[in-house]
Every structure is written in C-alpha cells, then in structure tokens.
Amino acid sequence: MEIYVYLDYETHPASRAMGTFYVIELKDDAGNIYSNVLRGNKLYNCMNELYKDVNMGFGMPTTIIDVYEDD
C-alpha cells in the first residue's frame, strides 16, 4: 500500500524551524482517505515517528511515497 501524507508545519505549536508538524490527511494510491489511522492532533517531531504510527495504524508495513506540506 502506498500512502500520501499531507503535513501542516504552520498551526501552533508546529514549526518548520523546529521540524515539528501535524498530519492533515492520509490517502492511499486509490484516493481513499484514512482518518482513523492516526490519533488526531498529534504533534510529530520527525518522519520516523510518523512512519511508525502509520505502520501500527494499518497493522502492516506501508510505504509513504509522497509528503505534501501545507503552506
């Protein structure tokens, strides 16, 4: 499964300078939105933390192929 992730670096306390972000949306390669995979409003400190949560949420290894940033 290939996942597209939309990130938000602007909503407080997320900050591009600090490398922290929120996940706005997860979609698969077929365009299905997965709103129940991640805990809402979790502030992430790194992409590895996000990868771990996505894999746990799906219960299997996934591949995040594109990351989109909200500006």
Question: For residue 1, is pLDDT > 90?
Answer: no
43-69 mean pLDDT: 86
Token pair recorded at residue 25: 């949306």
Burial of 47 (0-12, 13-18, 19+ CB in 10 A): middle
pLDDT at residue 69, as a whole number: 67
Q: Which amino acid is at 66?
A: D
Please state whether the peptide bond connecting residue 13 to the residue before it is cis, i.e. omega within 30 degrees of 0. Answer: yes
pLDDT, position 64: 77
Distances (CA, A) of 66 to 12, 13, 52, 63: 24, 23, 16, 9
Residue 39 has pLDDT above 90, yes or no: no
More confident residue, 64 or 47: 47
Read off the pLDDT of each residue in 28-42 and give the average, rounded to a whole number.
Answer: 89
Token pair in block for residue 64: 């995040």
